[in-house]
A and B are shown apart, each in its own frame.
Chain A
């Protein structure tokens, strides 16, 4: 009896030992190296990962994240990929870069990794971000990315200024209509109203603003008009599309033309509309450096009443540590163009970024990367991300009544997504973008009119795309 008991204990101990040894043998430490832009949505992701992530495989998965400032991000990632250092397994990539980095052989095609679980997630996703972030050629069936942070342009508004009784009365007297002040009223704002607000709030230092003397010059409106990266195209595209104009259509290669399309009369009209509002904006607009960071800074410093900005910046606008106007902000849909039937066309350029996986990532890491993406896109984590200030492209998540309660801007999300389109994804996008930004800058700083600007862009694109065989 004793002997058999001893034997049993010994075998149990041996079994436990063996099991623990087996687990140690199988559980590996795997590190995923990821390049990401440095801003709240990726910071929140890293925090959620460190606090919550347990790999399904039982491995210890670490996420090494390189936070790279936005203005340098493309150049840095491009340099890393083209140098062949193979430093990153994954990246949070801007959607326009897909073509350049897929053709270069860096981003891995993901169709073979879509199992039923992932397919269910993708089926539940809004088409606009999925196509913009994941497909190359744009809107094809080839999948290259999964949404990390979907983003759209919205209106940031100073309620303390807009809702002040004196301003309300003066605006009504001047324009015969109510100055929009609540989020719902701001939702109904078109570009004409936006322009009126710009004209109305142009206060010099010391002049009366919302019942007190303005501490500094104050302006009504701002949107991106910078020369760098895509810091004017993202806003101008919206104006072009709303007016019914088109950019070069990459879904219709090689038939689609640039000349006659990019510089059509409607496009000139749309671009002129964009330019006409700049005169009401802070004077830095004349320097070509009023990019998304500048307008964000001006807004947080309390120098403007309305700003059109990506949602990605909203978290820092409502944080008293980083914003002088925290607690005095309302968020609403981006204004649009009032159509003949009274509806507002809000077509806009989608922002946001997908996760991509690099071609040199080995199978073990790919498996962990896909598990990580599944975890990220799971309803629980998407809700946590949204409640910390992020956004979700998954319908069942953002249609949940809870979703709009997380952050004040979430009410604009579901309706805003339907209006989104994207700019080109072809490998030549950066050359096209830089030339376009240079030309837009000439118009923004008053050196060239809208027609000449769009003519130059159309001519350049026609030549470049014909040389590359993308236009016949």
Chain B
């Protein structure tokens, strides 16, 4: 088997397993004929055979020369089919007035985007999301950091406690939401039952906006603080012991030891945790959906997109909204990366 592609007319007509041009040519001629002459199903089969033939001959042809490219091709193909294509498709849709439950399509240009940017409801949902992002991420970072400091020390039952602390992260969002819904329930809930020991009134956490926010932040922090802890813990164990030993010889106070030795080692991972959690918190949906369904002014932008896309079938409108969100997340990510790079250069 030769690895050169056919370059002359002779080579083009040679029947060989690496002659992908011939396969392509045959396909271009045969598929339209099959479509015209054969019933629908058989025509699809014929088209499939020719596509397979072109792919196989192209692979055989490129085998020895582009082996690296061929090895990543399946992954790229999956990425294109599952991610890139839908992304571009929805980008296209966002300029039309398409609804999933209608078969009509009208070009709108940037009208969807104009409407979104001027819609006070969208701004309200974005503000809610921003509050929740700041609150949930801040609480998770603080608790996660403190947990990591705790678990970086040796103490009895540490391993078992660590497994327990990590469990919430492995649960599904829906399970956590449902669990906390019962936890906060004024009649059956544990929180209310405990509060009942001290007061005669039932404790209704989700009866105000502040309470509902607290309920969501607590549930989300319970689930994701262990994630922050895990990352920070990895940073903590990587701090060389001799630095602490040297510091203790120099009688450096505790907080300075933390600031000058511990913190620089965990900073990078902390920033990574911050990045992951901010992006995730920006998409906060499940816990809010189950705990409040957006009630008490807690409707996040993700929940709003869900309503527009899945419940109201406003496919185009929700696609444009999703693109604005995607853009926001990309800007945020780059901002973080820029800051992280600047810090590391300074260091």
**A residues within 8 Å of B by Cβ?**
74-75, 78-79, 81-83, 100-101, 103-106, 204-205, 216-217, 227-228, 282-284, 286-289, 298, 301, 303, 427, 430-431, 434, 438, 441, 445, 447
Please determine whether B101 and A104 come into contact, CB atoms closer than 8 angstroms.
Answer: yes
Please determine whether A79 and B185 come into contact, CB atoms closer than 8 angstroms.
Answer: no
Interface of A is mostly: helix
Question: Would you call B187 an interface residue if the criterion is a C-beta within 8 Å of the partner chain's C-beta atoms?
Answer: yes
Name the residue of chain A whose CB is nearest to the CB of B292. Answer: A288
A361 to chain B, nearest CB (A): 18
Please determine whether A227 and B293 come into contact, CB atoms closer than 8 angstroms.
Answer: yes
Please determine whether A287 and B312 come into contact, CB atoms closer than 8 angstroms.
Answer: no
Question: Would you call B110 an interface residue if the criterion is a C-beta within 8 Å of the partner chain's C-beta atoms?
Answer: no
A197 to chain B, nearest CB (A): 19
B:170-215 near A, CB below 8 Å: 181, 184-188, 196, 200, 202, 204-207, 209, 212
Partner of A287, one of B101, B206, B294, B310: B206
Please determine whether A445 and B295 come into contact, CB atoms closer than 8 angstroms.
Answer: yes
Please determine whether A287 and B186 come into contact, CB atoms closer than 8 angstroms.
Answer: yes
Specify which chain B residues have a CB less than 8 angstroms from the CB of A434 in the assembled complex.
307, 311-312
Partner of B295, one of A75, A100, A106, A227: A227
Please determine whether A75 and B100 come into contact, CB atoms closer than 8 angstroms.
Answer: no
Please determine whether B311 and A75 come into contact, CB atoms closer than 8 angstroms.
Answer: yes
Specify which chain B residues have a CB less than 8 angstroms from the CB of A438 in the assembled complex.
294-295
Please determine whether B295 and A204 come into contact, CB atoms closer than 8 angstroms.
Answer: no
A82 to B188, CA, bound (A): 39
Specify which chain B residues have a CB less than 8 angstroms from the CB of A427 in the assembled complex.
101
Specify which chain B residues have a CB less than 8 angstroms from the CB of A287 in the assembled complex.
184, 186, 204-207, 212, 292, 295-296
Asked, given contacts A78-B101, A103-B102, A434-B307, whether A282 binds B296 with beta carbons under 8 Å apart, the answer is: no
Specify which chain A residues have a CB less than 8 angstroms from the CB of B200 in the assembled complex.
204
Question: Would you call B313 an interface residue if the criterion is a C-beta within 8 Å of the partner chain's C-beta atoms?
Answer: yes
**B residues within 8 Å of A by Cβ?**
100-103, 181, 184-188, 196, 200, 202, 204-207, 209, 212, 292-297, 307, 310-313
Please determine whether B196 and A286 come into contact, CB atoms closer than 8 angstroms.
Answer: no
Name the residue of chain A whose CB is nearest to the CB of B313. Answer: A82
Q: With A287-B206, A431-B312 given, can you name 14 additional A-B contacts, CB distance below 8 Å?
A: A79-B310, A103-B101, A104-B101, A106-B101, A284-B187, A286-B204, A287-B205, A287-B296, A288-B296, A289-B293, A298-B187, A301-B188, A438-B294, A445-B295
Specify which chain B residues have a CB less than 8 angstroms from the CB of A216 in the assembled complex.
187
A204 to B184, CA, bound (A): 19
A213 to B313, CA, bound (A): 53
Name the residue of chain B whose CB is nearest to the CB of A81. Answer: B101
A35 to chain B, nearest CB (A): 16
Please determine whether A303 and B310 come into contact, CB atoms closer than 8 angstroms.
Answer: no
Specify which chain A residues have a CB less than 8 angstroms from the CB of B100 in the assembled complex.
82-83
Question: What are 10 A-B pairs with beta-carbon distances under 8 A?
Answer: A78-B101, A106-B101, A282-B187, A283-B186, A284-B187, A287-B184, A287-B205, A287-B207, A303-B187, A430-B311
Please determine whether B311 and A205 come into contact, CB atoms closer than 8 angstroms.
Answer: no
B114 to chain A, nearest CB (A): 16
Query: Of B102, B188, B295, B310, which is in contact with the most chain A CB atoms at under 10 Å from its CB?
Result: B295
B131 to chain A, nearest CB (A): 17
Query: Of B100, B186, B293, which is in contact with the most chain A CB atoms at under 10 Å from its CB?
Result: B293
Please determine whether B295 and A441 come into contact, CB atoms closer than 8 angstroms.
Answer: yes
Partner of B186, one of A105, A106, A284, A441: A284
Specify which chain B residues have a CB less than 8 angstroms from the CB of A284 in the assembled complex.
185-187, 204
Please determine whether B202 and A283 come into contact, CB atoms closer than 8 angstroms.
Answer: yes
Please determine whether A205 and B196 come into contact, CB atoms closer than 8 angstroms.
Answer: yes
Partner of A217, one of B187, B293, B312: B187
A-B contact count (CB 8 A): 85
Asked, given contacts A105-B103, A445-B295, whether A217 binds B202 with beta carbons under 8 Å apart, the answer is: yes
Name the residue of chain A whose CB is nearest to the CB of B192. Answer: A283
B299 to chain A, nearest CB (A): 8
A22 to B315, CA, bound (A): 51
Asked, given contacts A227-B294, A287-B186, A445-B296, whether A82 binds B204 with beta carbons under 8 Å apart, the answer is: no
Name the residue of chain A whose CB is nearest to the CB of B299. Answer: A438
Name the residue of chain B whose CB is nearest to the CB of A298. Answer: B187
Specify which chain A residues have a CB less than 8 angstroms from the CB of B205 in the assembled complex.
287
Asked, given contacts A78-B313, A82-B313, A431-B312, whether A286 binds B101 with beta carbons under 8 Å apart, the answer is: no
Name the residue of chain A whose CB is nearest to the CB of B206. Answer: A287
Please determine whether A78 and B186 come into contact, CB atoms closer than 8 angstroms.
Answer: no
Specify which chain B residues have a CB less than 8 angstroms from the CB of A205 in the assembled complex.
196
Specify which chain A residues have a CB less than 8 angstroms from the CB of B184 in the assembled complex.
287
Specify which chain A residues have a CB less than 8 angstroms from the CB of B311 in the assembled complex.
74-75, 78, 430, 434
Please determine whether A282 and B310 come into contact, CB atoms closer than 8 angstroms.
Answer: no
A345 to B200, CA, bound (A): 38
5 nearest A-B residue pairs (beta carbon) = A286-B207, A288-B295, A104-B101, A287-B206, A82-B100
A107 to B205, CA, bound (A): 43
A105 to B99, CA, bound (A): 13
Query: Of B181, B187, B205, which is in contact with the most chain A CB atoms at under 10 Å from its CB?
Result: B187
Please determine whether B206 and A104 come into contact, CB atoms closer than 8 angstroms.
Answer: no
B312 to chain A, nearest CB (A): 5
A193 to B150, CA, bound (A): 60
Specify which chain A residues have a CB less than 8 angstroms from the CB of B209 in the assembled complex.
447
Name the residue of chain A whose CB is nearest to the CB of B200. Answer: A204
Name the residue of chain B whose CB is nearest to the CB of A291. Answer: B293
A406 to B187, CA, bound (A): 34
B213 to chain A, nearest CB (A): 13
Partner of B204, one of A74, A283, A303: A283
B61 to chain A, nearest CB (A): 38
Please determine whether B312 and A430 come into contact, CB atoms closer than 8 angstroms.
Answer: yes
Please determine whether B102 and A104 come into contact, CB atoms closer than 8 angstroms.
Answer: yes
A38 to B311, CA, bound (A): 20
Specify which chain B residues have a CB less than 8 angstroms from the CB of A103 in the assembled complex.
101-102
Query: Of B101, B294, B310, which is in contact with the most chain A CB atoms at under 10 Å from its CB?
Result: B101
B142 to chain A, nearest CB (A): 27
Specify which chain B residues have a CB less than 8 angstroms from the CB of A289 in the assembled complex.
181, 206, 292-293, 295
A33 to chain B, nearest CB (A): 20
Specify which chain B residues have a CB less than 8 angstroms from the CB of A204 in the assembled complex.
200
Specify which chain A residues have a CB less than 8 angstroms from the CB of B185 in the assembled complex.
284
A288 to B295, CA, bound (A): 7
A74 to B310, CA, bound (A): 10
Name the residue of chain B whose CB is nearest to the CB of A207. Answer: B200
Specify which chain A residues have a CB less than 8 angstroms from the CB of B202 in the assembled complex.
217, 283
A447 to B296, CA, bound (A): 9
Name the residue of chain A whose CB is nearest to the CB of B101. Answer: A104
A104 to chain B, nearest CB (A): 4
A74 to B312, CA, bound (A): 11
Name the residue of chain B whose CB is nearest to the CB of A431. Answer: B312
